[in-house]
Every structure is written in structure tokens, then in C-alpha cells.
Amino acid sequence: MAVEKNSTAGVEIKLFSSGSTVGALRELIPQFERATGHRVTVSNEPGKIMLERITRGDTGDVLLTGSTVIDELTRQGHVVAGSKRELARCGAGVAVRAGVPKPDISTVEAFKRALLDAKSIAHTTSGASGMHLLRVVERLGIAQQVKAKARTQPGGLVGEILARGEADLAVQQIPELLAVPGLDFVGPLPAELQITSIVSAAIFSRAAQPEAARALLEFLSTPAAARVLKAGGLEPA
């Protein structure tokens, strides 16, 4: 995808990103760097942790995360008002280790049975999907059973827990599951239990490289970038 080089070529851009775009950024960032001469350093954290970190005063150049987090940071003055670009949407899903029989999760009851039948379940504690799962299992009346066999981490790719053989089943946003080798994607959560996240990008108010940040924002908004996002499990906005 074509990106024009400019007078600020060669600067370092600090990108704060949540986990749903990890897989797509593996392809997109090198493309952008080759086209512009800029360097992009990526910090990946769940939106909740990122919000707390930025509220405390940390800053960068570009923010790529859920729209609700960007909206809150805009209200706080940490993000440039009007700079937000909605890029894609994604839902949560289930994965198992490659080659393992896939459980039926096509209905609410089937998903409930799959959770109860699994010996261990991997999920985040601070990521949007992990917090959503905790609300779901409360609703289904199986919170204690799931908590007893949970394999958790604050954020990151919980599919890696699954790939190491330390869990039977993982629940996370679909792009994050697809980003981990050695897994088989089972499918999305049943519609009645689904959570949809809108992934957006924006520019920090105290960006050290505002011109380069705008270039990255434009790049992430191109049709070519949208195709990479789609291949990574995100539905372009």
C-alpha cells in the first residue's frame, strides 16, 4: 500500500495498542515502516490497563484500542478531540488446541455445557473479553465452577496458555485467538452472549511526533489496511 514519505521520515512513533490488533499489526507495521522510514514501537495492553496507565500520565503518539476507552481519554484531554477513526469491529470466540475435538458452542446451553465439560479454561482478567466472560458465567449460574478451573492472566494472548497445553479451552476476542499458532478456532460466542468491540485509532494530545502520528492514522484507515484487519479476524468499519 502506498504511503508518501515526508520531511519527518525517520522518527520514532509510539503506538499504544490493545490485543485485538496484535495479529494485523505484525503485517501492517513493517509495511508502514518500509514506506515511510519511520519506526514504530508498540505497547500492547488491555484497554482497562491502558486507560489507567494513560490517566496516570503516560503518553505516546497513536492510540489503537476500543472506542469507549478513546472516548473517555478524549474527555480527560489525553486524546485530540475529533482525531478518532473507527477502523473495525470484533466479537469474542472460543478456541481449542489444534487437532482436539471442537465442542458445540452453537447455542447458549451448548456453550454452557462446553464450559462445564472443559477441565480448564483460559481467559484474561483485565481484557474486555475476559471481563465479559465473568459476567456471562454469572448469568449462566456457573461462575464458581468456571472460576475453580480458570487459567488467567491480566491481558495478552491467552491462546498461548492453550497452545502450551495448560488449558483445554480459551475464550477471547476472535482476532487474538487467530493470532496464536497451534490453535483451532471453534467459533464465536452465541449471539445472545456475544460482545462486540469497536476498534478505533486516535492521536495523543501530547504526541511527540504529531505529523508522523497522522501519517500512521491515515495508513491504518486505508482500504488495503482494512483487508489486513479482516484477514486477522476483524470486520472493517
| pLDDT tens digit at each of 237 positions of the chain | 445 445 455 899 999 998 889 999 999 999 999 999 999 999 988 888 899 999 999 999 999 999 999 999 999 999 999 999 999 999 999 999 999 999 999 999 999 999 999 999 999 998 899 999 999 999 999 999 999 999 999 999 999 999 999 999 999 999 999 999 999 999 999 999 999 999 999 999 999 999 999 999 999 999 999 999 999 999 998
**Of 194, 178, 222, 212, the residue nearest 62 (C-alpha):** 212
Give CA–CA dist 83/58, Å, rounded: 19
What residues form DSSP beta bridges with 185? Answer: 95
Helices (H), the chain: 22-36, 47-55, 67-76, 108-117, 128-140, 143-148, 159-163, 174-178, 210-220, 223-231
The segment(s) of the chain belonging to CATH 3.40.190.10 are 12-89+198-236, 91-193
Q: What is the pLDDT of residue 47?
A: 86
Residue range 12-89+198-236 forms a domain whose CATH class is: alpha beta
**End-to-end Cα, the chain, rounded Å:** 19
Number of Cβ within a 10 Å radius of residue 106: 13
Question: Residue 209: is it exposed, middle or buried by C-beta count within 10 angstroms (0-12/13-18/19+)?
Answer: buried
Residues 115, 190 contacting (CB under 8 angstroms): no
Residue type for 98, please? A
* CATH fold of 91-193: D-Maltodextrin-Binding Protein; domain 2 (3.40.190)
Residue 180, C-alpha cell as written in the block: 496464536
